Structure 1
Amino acid sequence: MPTHPLITWAVDHPWPAAGIATAALAVLGAALWATIRAVRSITWPPGSVLTAGAGAIVCTIYSGDTSWRFAGERLGMVDSTERALMFGAGELALLACAVMARANKAATATESTAGSAGVPGVLVWVITGVQVIPCYATSGIVGGTVRAVIGPILAGLLWHLAMGLEIRVARPEALSTGLPAVIGRELRERLLSRLGLATRDRTAEQITRDRATARAVHLAAVLELHPKGRLAGYRRRRLAAAVARSGAGTNGEQRHRLLQQLAARRTSGQLATVPLASPWAGTPVPGEAYPRTPLGVAGAQLRAMDPLAVVHLVRAAHPEGTPAEVAALCTEYGVPVSETQVRIALRAGNSLYPPSAPALVRPVPDPISVVPDGVRLLPVTCRPSVPRPTPAVAAAHTRTRPVVTAEYVPEDPVPGPAPVPDDPDEEVPEGDRNVPDPDPLIEHARAEYGTDVPGIRPLRARYGIGQARAQHIRDALGGKK
């Protein structure tokens, strides 16, 4: 038995043959591994789509057999090469139109619609209808029906499902915008409305009651027009049966619906004389949901922005507005913010009024014209004044001013109220050790509190002073008893 030269060479040269075999196996394994990775990286459609595609291929082959027989028997294509090139033109065109319809559907799909197949989707059904003709021409009525259903018709349906079902699986709520789908939905809705099934979320019992109510209203209106006709007794019996079937005797809501419908039908003639206002004159223009926003920013954009940025925009449009007014305007524009948020955004502090810069030197009146009898003047001294405690602006430097102090020596001293003793453990604040007389905090407290004289403890907490000085300010404000 002759031996192949390649085997003889391998036997004569074992090491080169082993190396070549190993390299060939390595290349084959690498190719197989790359193929497996490529197959795994493919995003396969759902199993239902793959099944529909497999069925569409089989039905297309079945339709191709019909086209092969029709091309030889009816079209005169006796040459096998010619028939092989021409018999599958319809099936190939069907597949091409299905692929183009799938591409159009994917390109026009949105979140709410499934897209439209366009002209290729219509051509799929046109080609399917044309391919039915060879089925009947080849096999007659019975065989042609079998060939038509299993061949081109099922091929068109399965290609339609295989090419278009993937979008519906990804978004089941999407609606098709094709002409057949739109017509089908419209006919379905009209049929349901005609049958009285258009209202959703109703049980079969409720649908029966509503139909009986409508029938009772119709019979009652007819009996009102013909109370003594030949069919009056029959209509009364039907009316009683309809009322009983509607459940109006035991269901208050159904009885109310029955009476409302009957009243509307009996008084329908009054519609011709009901006074109505003219819609062409005096109709106010509906206002906007929100007032005009500042600086030309749209309301939707303003409400989508950060609240602190909105506060700055509103303040730029209303520079004279207080924090409370800015907060109210932001709320009107649809961005609810509080006054505290406005103060934080504008860094306005806690002051409700803009602070005023204090004068450097307070004018002192001439002491000669205001000194009463019995007053002894003391030497003029310069003492550092206590800065006025304002929340927003604080004095950065110590100011000096001339202070005229006077000591009144009455002829018959009248004993005054005993001073409140200071706490033994209380430390005298730094500002209480050298207090000018008169105390500048007296005028400040009079302007702040007026006639509502507070207690000693609130004065100490408010100005950070000791108990003796708080007692002195309270007595000066009229807090004596």
Structure 2
Amino acid sequence: MLTHPLTTWAVDHPWPTAGITAAALAILGAALWGAIRTVRSWTWPPLPFLVAGAGALVCTAYSGDTSWRFAGERLGMVDSTERALMFGAGELALLACAVMARANKAATATEATAGSAGVPGVLVWVITGVQIIPCYATSGIVGGTVRAVIGPVLAGLLWHLAMGLEIRVARPEALSTGLPAIIGRELRERLLSRLGLATRDRTAEQITRDRATARAVHLAAVLELRPEGWLSGYRRRRLAAAVARSGAGTNGEQRHRLLQQLAARRTSGQLATVPLASPWAGTPVPGDPYPRTPLGVTGAQLRTMDPLAVVHLVRSAHPKDGPAEVAALCTEYGVPVSETQVRVALRAGNSLIASAAPALVRHVPDPAPVVPHGARLLPVHCRTALRRPAPAVAAARARTRPVVTAEYVPECPVLDPDDVPDEHDDEVPEGDRDVPDPDPLIEQARAEYGADVPSFRTLKTRYAIGQTRAQRIRDALAAEAS
């Protein structure tokens, strides 16, 4: 029994053989795992595209068999090598044109259109038509028809589907821009218009009503022109049937449409005498809705710019205008801005003319120490004035935080709470009505308080007197103390 030397070596050296086998299996597994990950990472086209491509390849091979036979029988290519190199020229050209047509279709596709295959798309059908000739030349009329349909014709159709199906799936509403597609759409629209089906979103019942309305209008107009005749009775019966079918008797909208169409048809002769204004005399040329700026920039150009840049341009053209005038000019040129935006753009700050506000603290002149009849005025109590912010000018410097300056009113001396008169000081007690002069309480207070000058409230509480008498006593004590 003959054995291979490698097998003999493996049997004689089991451990190295096991190591080599394990390493080979590991390398094979790693290569298989990498191949699977690579295949899974591919972005595969949709399944319909793959099926169409596979069918196109099979039909192209079927067409290639016809080309092989035609090259040997009709073209004289007896050498197998020559025939192998030349027979598939048409199929390769068909495949190349299909790929280039797909690339053109994807490059010219937009959101609204599906793109155009261009010249390669036309060449696909030209090559398909030329390849039909070998089919009939090789197999006759019957076999040639089978070979032509299954071979080049199906190959061209499937390649067309394969190159355009993915784009149509991504955007079903997209329209093709090819010449055959445009001609087909126009013919379809004209045919639908001729059949009265051009208006979309109508039910079959509404289409029947509209047709009956149009027929009723036509019959009514004919009966108006020829009320008598041997067909007048037939026309009246047809008119009644058309009106009934249109639903004008029960549907107000349909009745209004019927009357409007009939009125338009009956008065169509007035179109020849309708007065119209001549479009050739006195028609002004429509100009720019916004005036041209002094800088030579049109309103359309200004409206495409940033509003702050427009403010600077208008201000440079009108340097003496204020923010309000610049805002009005910008609005006139088609860029509506406010006065505040103009001040921000020009760093002009707020208006320096402050509105008149009521003063929080009024200056009270110092009263005279003595007034006629010996009466003394009450002291005036002042409070610290509130801070009054001064206007900040934004054009002076760039502001990073609010800056407020304030003016202060000097603080008035604070009086003793006991010297503040009560709210019932105007009332005169019974003991103050007939007071002799000099007041006897002055001597009593001088004896009790000495050089100290008591407050009004102390005197009023001690002697049960009013404000006027307590003030007179206190003034007398203060005069002696000074």
Confirm or deny that 1:167 pairs with 2:167: yes
The change in CA–CA distance for 1:77 and 1:32 in structure 2 (over 3 A counts) is: same
- Asked if 2 retains the 8 angstrom alpha-carbon contact of 1:114 and 1:176, the reply is yes
Residue identity matched to 1:117: A
The change in CA–CA distance for 1:268 and 1:296 in structure 2 (over 3 A counts) is: same
**How is 1:156-305 mapped onto 2 (pairs within 5 angstroms)?**
156-292=156-292, 295=295, 299=299, 302-305=302-305
State the shift of 1:97 in Å: 1.2
**How is 1:386-405 mapped onto 2 (pairs within 5 angstroms)?**
none
TM-superposition CA deviations, 1:396-433 (whole Å, max 9, x none): xxxxxxxxxxx9x9xx999xxx99986x5x524499xx
Any runs of at least 4 consecutive aligned residues in structure 1 with deviations exceeding 6 A, and if so which?
418-421, 462-468
The change in CA–CA distance for 1:430 and 1:170 in structure 2 (over 3 A counts) is: closer
Bigger mean CA offset, 120-129 vs 12-21: 12-21
Supply the distance in 2 between the matched residues of 1:196 and 1:319 (Cα, whole angstroms).
66
Supply the distance in 2 between the matched residues of 1:235 and 1:420 (Cα, whole angstroms).
114
Supply the distance in 2 between the matched residues of 1:68 and 1:419 (Cα, whole angstroms).
135
The change in CA–CA distance for 1:228 and 1:323 in structure 2 (over 3 A counts) is: same
Supply the distance in 1 between the matched residues of 2:255 and 2:225 (Cα, whole angstroms).
22
The change in CA–CA distance for 1:71 and 1:10 in structure 2 (over 3 A counts) is: same
Confirm or deny that 1:4 pairs with 2:17: no
3-state DSSP of counterpart to 2:212: helix
Supply the distance in 1 between the matched residues of 2:281 and 2:136 (Cα, whole angstroms).
70
Supply the distance in 2 between the matched residues of 1:349 and 1:253 (Cα, whole angstroms).
63
TM-superposition CA deviations, 1:50-107 (whole Å, max 9, x none): 2211121122223223333444555555554444333322222211111121222233
Supply the distance in 1 between the matched residues of 2:269 and 2:86 (Cα, whole angstroms).
72
3-state DSSP of counterpart to 2:275: coil
Residue identity matched to 1:223: L
TM-superposition CA deviations, 1:308-360 (whole Å, max 9, x none): 34433333333333333333333344443333333333333331xx66xxxxx
- Asked if 1 retains the 8 angstrom alpha-carbon contact of 2:383 and 2:411, the reply is no
- RMSD, aligned CA: 3.9
- Asked if 1 retains the 8 angstrom alpha-carbon contact of 2:386 and 2:408, the reply is no
- Asked if 1 retains the 8 angstrom alpha-carbon contact of 2:291 and 2:298, the reply is no
Give the corresponding residue for 1:440: none
Bigger mean CA offset, 132-141 vs 251-260: 132-141
Larger radius of gyration: 2
- Asked if 2 retains the 8 angstrom alpha-carbon contact of 1:294 and 1:313, the reply is no
Supply the distance in 2 between the matched residues of 1:260 and 1:154 (Cα, whole angstroms).
55
State the shift of 1:183 in Å: 0.8
Confirm or deny that 1:108 pairs with 2:108: yes
The change in CA–CA distance for 1:341 and 1:198 in structure 2 (over 3 A counts) is: same
Give the corresponding residue for 2:350: 350
- Asked if 1 retains the 8 angstrom alpha-carbon contact of 2:90 and 2:131, the reply is yes
The two structures have a TM-score, normalised by structure 1, of 0.67
Residue identity matched to 1:122: V
**How is 1:79-158 mapped onto 2 (pairs within 5 angstroms)?**
79-158=79-158
- Asked if 2 retains the 8 angstrom alpha-carbon contact of 1:112 and 1:174, the reply is yes
State the shift of 1:23 in Å: 5.6
Supply the distance in 1 between the matched residues of 2:313 and 2:125 (Cα, whole angstroms).
60
Supply the distance in 2 between the matched residues of 1:222 and 1:27 (Cα, whole angstroms).
94
Residue identity matched to 1:53: G
Give the corresponding residue for 1:375: none
Residue identity matched to 1:316: S
Bigger mean CA offset, 89-98 vs 258-267: 258-267
3-state DSSP of counterpart to 2:48: helix
3-state DSSP of counterpart to 2:153: helix
Give the corresponding residue for 2:66: 66
Supply the distance in 1 between the matched residues of 2:292 and 2:233 (Cα, whole angstroms).
68
State the shift of 1:155 in Å: 1.3
- Asked if 2 retains the 8 angstrom alpha-carbon contact of 1:63 and 1:147, the reply is yes
Give the corresponding residue for 1:402: none
Bigger mean CA offset, 150-159 vs 169-178: 169-178
- Asked if 1 retains the 8 angstrom alpha-carbon contact of 2:217 and 2:258, the reply is yes
TM-superposition CA deviations, 1:223-260 (whole Å, max 9, x none): 22222222111111111111222222222222222222
Residue identity matched to 2:197: L
3-state DSSP of counterpart to 1:321: coil
Supply the distance in 2 between the matched residues of 1:159 and 1:420 (Cα, whole angstroms).
112
Structure 1: gaps (5+ residues): 356-388, 392-406, 432-461, 469-481
3-state DSSP of counterpart to 1:114: strand
Give the corresponding residue for 2:321: 321
Supply the distance in 2 between the matched residues of 1:100 and 1:27 (Cα, whole angstroms).
40
Supply the distance in 2 between the matched residues of 1:110 and 1:92 (Cα, whole angstroms).
30
State the shift of 1:125 in Å: 0.9
The change in CA–CA distance for 1:324 and 1:48 in structure 2 (over 3 A counts) is: farther
The change in CA–CA distance for 1:420 and 1:300 in structure 2 (over 3 A counts) is: farther
Supply the distance in 2 between the matched residues of 1:114 and 1:29 (Cα, whole angstroms).
45
Give the corresponding residue for 1:377: none
State the shift of 1:464 in Å: 8.0
Residue 427 of structure 1 is aligned with which of 373, 378, 383?
Answer: 383
Identity, in percent, stands at 84
TM-superposition CA deviations, 1:152-188 (whole Å, max 9, x none): 2221111011112233333333322211111111111
Structure 2: gaps (5+ residues): 357-365, 388-405, 413-482
